[in-house]
Structure 1
Amino acid sequence: MITQNYINHLTYDVIGAAIEVHKILGKGLFESVYHKCMIEELKLRKINFKTEFKIPIDYKGVNLDLDFRCDLFIENILVVELKAVNEILPIHDAQLLTYMKLLSAPKGLLLNFNSNNIFREGQKTLVNEHFKNLPK
């Protein structure tokens, strides 16, 4: 059974993987470099995920091709969007919330590798109604 606690622990584990990648690489690289390293770190930690898959969008029975791609979808419940930007903007929140809604994911995580400290300033979590309706 999926609970808020389970998802929170999973989020903590993913942030730990991001901290490890950031500790080794530092900031200033392209997002694609962090993405490949996150894939390897998640594999090492035996965290189940999908990457770079096309998000299905069904509207009234019609599959729409909008070419939305999720960076990482952890255990089919946690959407992770990776960034390497000067600051997280509202458009990044909107992107994450869109993916969460389309994937029926209860929680999302923005990770900005262009920060001095992933834990303090380089991550942001978002939850939606799916998360709020889960047991603790």
Structure 2
Amino acid sequence: REQREMLRLEAERAHRQKLQDQEKRRKQLDLSLRLKMKRLARDRQEELALDMSILEQLMTEERDEKQDEVLKKRQEEQRKYREYLAEQLEEQKRQEAETEQLFESELQQAWARREALWRQEKAARNRLMKDVMDTRRLQIQE
């Protein structure tokens, strides 16, 4: 009987350790995914910023040149492209914020489900422990 109790306690401890390991791994994966998303977003922003910087430099150089029709047309194209890049940067930031919000929402839902499962498991363990204690009390009384 004591050996069965020891086996049960060891199994419970192993189960608890497994849950802790799973939670730790989930947190590591969540962090890795967030860091990757932020790194990719930062890389894209840097690329867009570099393009804008190059365009600014080209526009500055061309302003110093002779102002003819071809130059004006080129400057207008560059201005439009710069506006396009600025819009892309804003859209990318908006999408990143939206993705982060969705990610947070999904994490909260998953966490709530996991906590509900843990509460159910704890209630089941408590019922089993009560049964064991009640049985032990009856044995002692007999």
Q: Under TM normalisation by the shorter chain, which class is it?
A: under 0.3
Q: Which has the higher contact order (CA 8 A, sep 6+)?
A: 1
Higher strand content, 1 or 2: 1
TM-score by length of 2: 0.26
**Structure number with larger C-alpha Rg:** 2
TM-score by length of 1: 0.27
Higher helix content, 1 or 2: 2
